[in-house]
Amino acid sequence: MANEQQTQPQVAIPLPKGKKNAVQIGCICMMLSVAMNGLVFATLTSPILESVNAMGYVALFSILGGMGVSIMTPIGGKLGDLIGRRNIVVIPGIICAVCGIAFAFVRSLVPLMILRLLIGLAQGAFTAAPYIIAGLINERKDVPKAMGMLATAIAVGGFGGSIIAGILTDMGLLKVAILMPAVPLILGVVLIGMNMPNVKREGKVSIDIPGIIALVVALAGILLALNFGSAMGWGNPAIIAGFVIGIVALVVLVKIEGKSAEPLIPLKLFKNSQYTVLLIVGFICYFYQSAMNVYAPIGAMKVMGASTSAAGALQMPRTIITIFLPTMAGVWVGKKASNAWKAMVVGTLFVAVPMAVMGFTTPSTSIIIYVVALTITGIAESCRSVAITPSAQATLQPADMGVGTSLVNFVNSLANTIAATVFGVAYNLSTAADPTNVANIQNGVNSVFRLAAIVAVIGLVLVIFVVRPKMTAKKAE
């Protein structure tokens, strides 16, 4: 009898094959849109703000979108418990699509800023939903493969979105470029809305309003201070005030969540040592990406003397790998439980080694070294994307699936913000004397890459000596 129970498929939301496939395609469309939106805005920020004579607001424009996503990602998981998993896709998805369409036609700075924030908030509300849904409609062994398809969608959306947006803008079709991400978003909303039941958590669910307020204040204070600190100076009273307000709000949030009957972020999740260490490993696996995206082009152009086009093509092979490899890696991870921690080893080791190599950049270094190193990180990213979230979901109770998965996404997004600040400090310390001196720039980028390598090694140690034993013990049980 026990063997029969073990062979039965365990799916939280069983769907007919046709509806299941439609929902999965809908999830892929949602992540495709998220990636396209991010890269489209990165590509089009300058022409958009130039069109309203507001180039001085580039940093604030980007921060508003990132802050909106960071604020709503943990809240979105809890809202899904309240209004249902289908509705947490459909309602914010429609809001995001409407704001995205309006964004193409508005040509006034303040409304543009408001729309950018609303798009970020809406995206944050549904960004974790495709990962949650993948864990609910698939058998456990099939979840890594589903995560791999979502990772592929992100790679395709980011790569294709930025290229197409650039081409359309050069053709004078800026509005079309801005509207482009709304197409897969609307398709995803329709597919999920029509084929997935609106499953809610059983029983009465209340929203922790004081917790939401404390979280918003904490994130706004800390993230704004982190983003503006390097430009305004870390000793600036406004920056210090931002940190103080953020930290005080964070302490208040912890106290509120500890007493709340329906906490926004259940502190009991952090008593789950396996889940907590997976959050840390996920944070570490994202940490290097700021170094790769910002400082690899600087090293290539300013130290090695490469052209702008060559620097722009550094990640091309990496992107191709992240389009095709995640789904295959997901199938491999799903075949055997122990493959999950092995994938995490790849996800940290294949970052540590390339970053360490790039940490010895000189004017005589070949740009091929950078291309190969970044390509290897594509293998790491492919394995990370199919290992950490499914492993974290496997440690959660069904009632915590939504908020637990959202917290994974939240920590991952937070890694980029914190890493950008840390790397910025490391780079500025090396280039403070003369930011244009090649030797100083060389020391700066090398400091950044070596720091990224050290952080990745810490992740590797955690996987080998903490994650692996815990997964092995759980399998034995």
Q: What is the pLDDT of residue 252?
A: 94
**Whether 361 and 254 share a structural domain:** no
- Which of these three, 235, 261, 287, is where a domain ends? 261
Calculate Rg over the CA atoms of the chain. 22
Q: What is the pLDDT of residue 383?
A: 95
**Whether 398 and 277 share a structural domain:** yes
**Whether 240 and 384 share a structural domain:** no
Report the C-alpha gap between 406 and 469 in whole angstroms. Answer: 25
Report the C-alpha gap between 256 and 211 in whole angstroms. Answer: 6
Let me know: does 240 contact 228? Beta carbons within 8 Å: no
- For residues 304, 307, 310, 312, the Cα torsion angle rounded to the nearest 10 degrees is 100
pTM for this one? 0.83
Residue 140: which CATH number? Answer: 1.20.1250.20
**Whether 255 and 339 share a structural domain:** no
Q: Is residue 345 part of a domain?
A: yes
Q: Is residue 2 part of a domain?
A: no
| pLDDT per 10-residue tile (average), the chain, 477 residues | 45 88 95 83 71 72 79 83 86 94 86 89 90 89 91 85 76 84 94 89 74 90 82 86 94 89 83 93 94 90 87 87 92 89 96 97 95 96 94 86 86 85 87 87 95 97 94 73
**Whether 290 and 251 share a structural domain:** no
Q: What is the pLDDT of residue 432?
A: 82
**Whether 99 and 61 share a structural domain:** yes
Q: Is residue 460 part of a domain?
A: yes
**Whether 108 and 226 share a structural domain:** no
Burial of 103 (0-12, 13-18, 19+ CB in 10 A): buried
Q: What is the pLDDT of residue 36?
A: 86
Enclosing domain of residue 188: 16-197
Secondary-structure breakdown of the chain: helix, strand, coil percentages, each rounded to the nearest 5: 85, 0, 15
Q: Is residue 70 part of a domain?
A: yes
- Which of these three, 197, 218, 236, is where a domain ends? 197
**Whether 230 and 286 share a structural domain:** no
Q: Is residue 451 part of a domain?
A: yes
